[in-house]
Amino acid sequence: MAIVNAEALRAKTADELKTQLVDLKKEQFNLRFQAAGGQVENPTRAKIVRREIARIKTVLGQMTSSAHTAK
């Protein structure tokens, strides 16, 4: 997966973001096990995944706050 910027995330729907978030959480879980077993292929991938999760959570939070403001 490539690094995704916040603008690309804002173009997606909330359901797409939630699906991507679940996929990244699974990848993060697998990376933790690889790190514990000492078989990490790309050590920087864990950092990238963690930041992408944070970006998605931020965009989802902005979507929900803007939805509450619009009411």
Please give the tally of structural domains in the chain: 1
In-domain check, residue 71? no
Q: Mean pLDDT in the chain?
A: 91
In-domain check, residue 36? yes
Q: Containing domain of residue 51, as a range?
A: 6-66
Q: Is the pLDDT of residue 1 over 60?
A: no
CATH number of domain containing 46:
1.10.287.310
In-domain check, residue 55? yes
**Cβ contacts of residue 34 below 8 Å, gap of 6+?**
40, 41
CA distance 1 to 63: 24
Give the lowest-confidence range in 31-35, 40-44, 52-56, 67-71.
Answer: 67-71
Largest CA distance in the chain: 51
pLDDT score at 62: 93
In-domain check, residue 10? yes
Look at 3 and 57; give whichever has higher pLDDT. Answer: 57
